[in-house]
């Protein structure tokens, strides 16, 4: 498990492109036959990727750095299926996940096993500390709260699916959903915003190999851009704006942890204020 320490906004000016990626981008989460984890000191989130091989299940263990007997001893966990999907077994109960389904695993779950349904099966993991236990619950994409937003004229027409939120499946901290951009739209999270009480992580998905996304982060007046490819994740600290534009449409997982779970608790940033430092 990699460790990523928290970053003060004043530090960004001294980071070149390589250092920026090293600090915030999770570029190699999905390796065949492995579980990769990253511990971020921003709201103590753990992010990960699982790419099980067909016929070879993988069990989630607690890395030594967690100082825990098992991964969810003090944590809750969200599992997002991508690609072919597969099965996740939690303490003997088997859950079948298709593409973009989400499984919430409550604190106290001991045995978590991943199985692939096909060659392209992947699972994205997002975890936060938990001081209360809620039941393990599967949220299929078809049952997520769905909202249409954006405008075709400004190239940001998109569907927002909320899987874990304060009016749905109960969690201790995690808020999670998936945004899918419509064909012809490329901008996400417009108009942009920050939320000083929560860290947010994006996992970009459904992006063809020959395409890229320019992800913007940093203080609104001085945003920095990072080139992102398919199945790469990026950490946005609470003080950072987070938005991006791709060379084609795509989808992304957004997950937050922090002081509250109010989806609307954000500070809007005018488009004209971006880069106005």
- In 3-state terms the chain splits into helix, strand, coil percentages (rounded to 5) of 10, 45, 45
What is the SS3 assignment for 152? helix
Would you list the domain boundaries of the chain?
A: 15-273
| Cα-based distances in Å from 239 to 6, 15, 56, 197, 267 | 11, 17, 41, 9, 10
Determine how β-strand 2-4 pairs with β-strand 35-40.
parallel
Exposed / middle / buried, residue 136 (Cβ in 10 Å: 0-12, 13-18, 19+): buried
CA dihedral 28, 34, 39, 43 (to 10 degrees): 90
Who contacts 252 (Cβ-Cβ below 8 Å, separation ≥6)?
Answer: 178, 179, 188, 202, 203, 204, 205
Report yes or no: 231 and 82 within 8 Å, Cβ to Cβ.
Answer: yes
What is the chain's pLDDT, residue by residue, as a tens digit (277 residues)? Answer: 999 999 999 999 899 999 999 999 999 999 999 999 999 999 999 999 999 999 999 999 999 999 999 999 999 999 999 999 899 999 999 999 999 999 999 999 999 999 999 888 999 999 999 999 999 999 999 999 999 999 999 999 999 999 999 888 999 999 999 999 999 999 998 888 888 889 999 999 999 999 999 999 999 999 999 999 999 999 999 999 999 999 999 999 999 998 877 777 788 888 888 888 6
Its pTM surpasses 0.85: yes
Q: List the structure tokens of 150.
A: 């954006």
Q: Which of 160, 156, 152, 106 is nearest to 133 (CA)?
A: 106
Fold exhibited by the domain 15-273: Jelly Rolls (2.60.120)
């Amino acid at each position: 498990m990699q460790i990523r320490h928290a970053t003060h906004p004043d530090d960004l000016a001294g980071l070149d492109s390589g250092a920026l990626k090293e600090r915030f981008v999770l570029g190699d989460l999905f390796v065949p036959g492995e579980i990769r984890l990253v511990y971020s000191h921003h709201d103590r989130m753990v992010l990960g990727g699982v790419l099980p091989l067909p016929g070879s299940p993988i069990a989630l263990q607690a890395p030594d750095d967690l100082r825990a007997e098992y991964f969810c001893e003090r944590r809750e966990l969200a599992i997002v299926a991508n690609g072919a999907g597969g099965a996740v077994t939690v303490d003997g109960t088997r859950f079948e996940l298709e593409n973009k389904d989400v499984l919430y695993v409550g604190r106290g779950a001991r045995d978590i096993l991943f199985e692939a349904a096909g060659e392209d099966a992947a699972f994205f993991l997002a975890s936060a500390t938990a001081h209360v236990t809620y039941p393990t619950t599967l949220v299929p994409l078809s049952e997520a709260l769905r909202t249409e937003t954006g405008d075709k004229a400004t190239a940001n027409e998109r569907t927002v699916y909320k899987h874990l939120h304060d009016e749905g499946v109960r969690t201790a901290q995690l808020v999670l959903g998936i945004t899918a951009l419509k064909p012809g739209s490329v901008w996400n999270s417009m108009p942009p915003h920050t939320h000083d009480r929560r860290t947010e992580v994006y996992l970009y998905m459904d992006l063809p190999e020959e395409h890229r996304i320019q992800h913007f982060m940093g203080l609104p007046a001085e945003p920095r851009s990072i080139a992102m490819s398919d199945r790469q994740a990026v950490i946005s600290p609470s003080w950072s704006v987070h938005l991006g534009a791709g060379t084609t449409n795509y989808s992304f997982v957004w997950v937050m942890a922090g002081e509250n779970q109010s989806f609307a608790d954000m500070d809007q940033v005018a488009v004209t204020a971006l880069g106005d430092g």
